[in-house]
Structure 1
Amino acid sequence: MVATAERVRPGPFAWLWYAVGGRLPAVHREWVLRDVTASTWLLRHAARSTVLISPLVLVWLLLPAPIGLRLALMLMAALVGYFYSFAYAEESCEHRLHKNGIPRGTGKRIRAEAREVAGHDATVRYLARYRGE
């Protein structure tokens, strides 16, 4: 990863393509890395998952059945979709990075480093506040 590279955000149609699993041009590589390693990576994953789950959920709404049954089916489709999406969130992000030209394991390593720094900072604040160190 080059620290001097500029992060170029994709447009709406490019983002939709990316959300459904498409590869972005190389100019967006730094943005993709940031997308799956930011502190909000799970929220971003949820947004991408919503793009994939929404059509299925909306199909249940159009079925000829009582509204209560259709709403229950929509809820179940969403719950199952999000369950599997979050169960494989890290693997999905690593595959997304690899697809966009970044070596596998990079996202997991960067998120682990960020957690370590955040944990250290929290420990320092705790010690300063409650132990007077």
Structure 2
Amino acid sequence: MGSIRRRRPNPFLWLYYQYGGRLSNAYRAWVLHDSACRTWLLRVVLCALVHLAPVMAGLALFLRAVLGGPWALVLGSLLLGVLVYLRFVLTLAQDSTDSRLTRYGYPAGYGTAIRAQAEQERDTRR
């Protein structure tokens, strides 16, 4: 995957993409890289945290202002919510990345197949 020239989205397009927007076909190779590279799972977690950050910030301010609890309690509660959310995200990570790839014209299960092939190649090199 490293030999293909990939056009990276700028920060605004990246945010648009993270919130479910569809990039043009010029970014198709980058979308494949994003979904199938060695750090794909870390990228899924980062995307989930980007989705959750505004909600958690608003919720933290609301809980502190309305309920008046100590910051430690507010942040601890939010951390538990984030951990539960990440559990769901990680459970659905493979299917969501494969689904995203199908929107860009790749066959169903293509990301999973690419990741499995790369893992097999790494095992063979060892």
TM-score by length of 2: 0.87
Distance of 2:90 and 2:100 partners within structure 1? 15
Matched to 1:47, the amino acid is L
Q: Of 107, 110, 116, which aligns to 2:111?
A: 107
* Cα deviation 1:62-84 (Å, max 9, x = unaligned): 12231232112211221111111
Count, aligned residues: 120
Corresponding residue of 1:25: 24
Residues 59 and 73 (structure 1), Cα distance of their counterparts in 2 relative to 1, 3 Å cut: farther
Distance of 1:49 and 1:86 partners within structure 2: 9
Task: Report what 1:47 is aligned to.
Answer: 46
8 A contact 1:57–1:77 mirrored in 2: no
What displacement does 1:9 show? Answer: 0.5
Matched, 1:7 2:6: yes
Specify the SS of the correspondent of 1:88: helix
Identical columns (%): 36
Q: Which has the larger radius of gyration?
A: 1
Q: Give the structure-1-normalised TM-score.
A: 0.83
Equivalent residues of 1:8, 1:27 under 8 A apart: yes
* 1:20 counterpart letter in structure 2: Y
RMSD across aligned positions (CA)? 1.7
Aligned partner of 1:131 in structure 2 is none
Q: CA deviation at 1:101?
A: 2.2
